[in-house]
Amino acid sequence: MFTRRTFLSVAMTAWATRQGRAQGPSTEKVVIEPGEAIAVIRPELHGHFAEHLGTCIYGGLWVGRNSPIPNINGHRKQAVEWLRELGIPVLRWPGGCFADDYHWRDGIGPPEKRPRRVNIHWGNYVEDNSFGTHEFIELCRLIGAEPYIAGNVGSGTPQEMRDWVEYCNYPSGSTLAEERAANGSPEPFRVRYWGVGNENWGCGGNMTPEEYAAHYRRFATYLRDFGDTRLFLIACGPGGNNLEWTRRFMEAMPRRVRMHGYAMHYYSSGKNQATKFTVENLRAQLATFWDLEKAVLEQRALLDKYDKDRRIGLLVDEWGVWDRMDPEEEKRYGRLFQQITMRSALAAALGLNVFHRQADKLVMGNLAQTVNVLHALLLADGPRCIRTTTYYAFELMKPHRGATAVRAHAPEAPPPSLSVSASRRQDELIVTLVNPRHDTGAELECAVTKGSVRAARARILHHPDFNAGNTFDAPDRIVPRDHPVTASGATVRLTMPPLSIVTIQAGLAGV
Ligand code: AHR
């Protein structure tokens, strides 16, 4: 009998033969435990980051009020619309390295009176400060994101940062609150998330953990809650899985000092330019996402020694792929511009799967960076703006936000092969599978250990060439599509081609 499964199997083999390099699909098992809750997947795990770097802000998100490019008060209209559709939960700004050389007063008041400053971190070019605090808050409001401001510890003072908090959050009556009102915002901005510096072990002042701890203690003392806004103060954690930084910093940090978050950064470097990856480059980069998971586990375990009740949340407030830059592209599109490809999408989905699986250990994750820089959601060039495969990976995984992560694993799949995360919202099951292998498709049997599944539907993002991406000339080359999936009894069945991301949503009964 020619069953649906035989049909799929034959189709996959034909597909694989057409590719000339892919192996036929093997059957792989995935186990999903709907009764084993991990934690709520905080929407903030799908956060983003925008720095004054290259053309992320100027020329990317911000085109200026007098631009012929369609804009809303200077914000690129197309970017606003797409970011609002994606529903960015939190946006971190103004850096990055830039944050520790940024003086917020430069970016308030009449734009024509704002000073022109040299961006020393990212190419010594001049910025006119037309995008400052008010513009950032307006952007966040337009796209529905919670603002996260990184303060200046490296070249700033506790007073400067304390004043910034007052300027943003004090309801009314103080000179700084009145200045904010005179600049157009009588209502306080109510900014909760404040980073106390950025990478202070490097571009944020080249400090030792003990030196930074001393600075943190001093700054945090003067950062206060105003009105109904409770601050969430974030300390600078390690680059990668540097356990020594965490241990020495925490040793130097008395428990009474206010700290709500501790931010590690984790980049996955690429050994080639974005569109020139070899299979080896692909494997090496995607394998780092299993190291990221190990880093989250180890950093959290170390923090737990000092913070048994988990009062301090762990963030990965910069993450993503960092490939070798093409000098010509950087010249044209700005520093740290890289083309986003199918491989970048797989990387984004592998990262989000890690965050879902470790939802009990993380409070936020911010991908670097929103437009034209590193692992971007959007690429923009003059009037043109496109959605990248990274954007679509986030879109595909959006249903997990706010759901409860449940245990899920692919027992026969050693890294870097199949990756899975699952979550549950009442009687709905959401599963994201990532197949990062370039040459192996799979027939998947996803079995729930409790209850039964029904009415499954799925969406896929896939392209057979890991170096292909959406470009200004071919903006819709890779977009999500519906994907066939069946659910009966306790099993969901589907096929996954190589290099694909699938999110399944299914009804769950009897749990
Ligand atoms: O995201 C680019 C840079 O990477 C940031 O400015 C810095 O924090 C990190 O090293």
Residue whose Cα lies nearest atom 5 of ligand 1: it is 96
Q: Residues enclosing ligand 1, CB less than 6 A?
A: 51, 95-97, 198-199, 318, 368-369, 374
Residue whose Cα lies nearest atom 3 of ligand 1: it is 96
Ligand 1 center–CA 159 separation, angstroms: 25
Residue whose Cα lies nearest atom 7 of ligand 1: it is 96
Class of domain 4-40+406-509: mainly beta
Alpha carbons 58 and 78: distance in angstroms, whole number: 15
Locate CATH 2.60.40.1180 in the chain: 4-40+406-509
Residue whose Cα lies nearest atom 8 of ligand 1: it is 96
Alpha carbons 268 and 282: distance in angstroms, whole number: 11
Taking residue 332's Cβ as centre, other Cβ atoms within 10 Å add up to 11
Residue whose Cα lies nearest atom 4 of ligand 1: it is 96
Ligand 1 center–CA 499 separation, angstroms: 28
* DSSP codes, 265-299: EEEEEEEEETT---HHHHHHHHHHHHHHHHHHHHH
> Catalytic: 127?
no
Residue 267 CA: which ligand 1 atom is closest?
4
Using the structure block, give the residue that is written with the tokens 């330019």: 273
Pick the CATH number of 43-401 from 3.60.9.10, 3.90.1010.10, 3.90.1150.10, 3.20.20.80: 3.20.20.80
Alpha carbons 32 and 11: distance in angstroms, whole number: 27
Residue 369 CA: which ligand 1 atom is closest?
1
DSSP helix/strand/coil, 143: helix
DSSP state of 144: T
Counting ligand 1 atoms within 8 A of each CB, the residue from 198, 199, 317 with the most, and so the one to mutate, is 199
Local confidence pLDDT in tens for the 511 residues of the chain: 333 333 333 334 334 434 434 555 678 999 999 999 999 999 999 999 999 999 999 999 999 999 999 999 999 999 999 999 999 999 999 999 999 999 999 999 999 999 999 999 999 999 999 999 999 999 999 999 999 999 999 999 999 999 999 999 999 999 999 999 999 999 999 999 999 999 999 999 999 999 999 999 999 999 999 999 999 999 999 999 999 999 999 999 987 899 999 999 999 999 999 999 999 999 999 999 999 999 999 999 999 999 999 999 999 999 999 999 999 999 999 999 999 999 999 999 999 999 999 999 999 999 999 999 999 999 999 999 999 999 999 999 999 999 999 999 987 667 778 999 999 999 999 999 999 999 999 999 999 999 999 999 999 999 999 999 999 999 999 999 999 999 999 999 999 999 999 999 999 999 8
Catalytic residue among 28, 135, 199, 293: 199
Ligand 1 center–CA 95 separation, angstroms: 7
Ligand 1 center–CA 49 separation, angstroms: 10
* DSSP codes, 324-364: E--HHHHHHH-TT-----HHHHHHHHHHHHHHHHTTTT-SE
CA distance between the termini of the chain: 34
Residue 374 CA: which ligand 1 atom is closest?
1
Ligand 1 center–CA 96 separation, angstroms: 5
Locate CATH 3.20.20.80 in the chain: 43-401
Residue 122 CA: which ligand 1 atom is closest?
6
> Catalytic: 28?
no
- Whole-structure pTM value: 0.94
Residue 239 CA: which ligand 1 atom is closest?
10
Alpha carbons 325 and 507: distance in angstroms, whole number: 44
Ligand 1 center–CA 294 separation, angstroms: 21
Residue whose Cα lies nearest atom 2 of ligand 1: it is 96
Closest residue by Cα to residue 479 from 388, 404, 397: 388
The DSSP H or E segment spanning 493 is strand 491-496
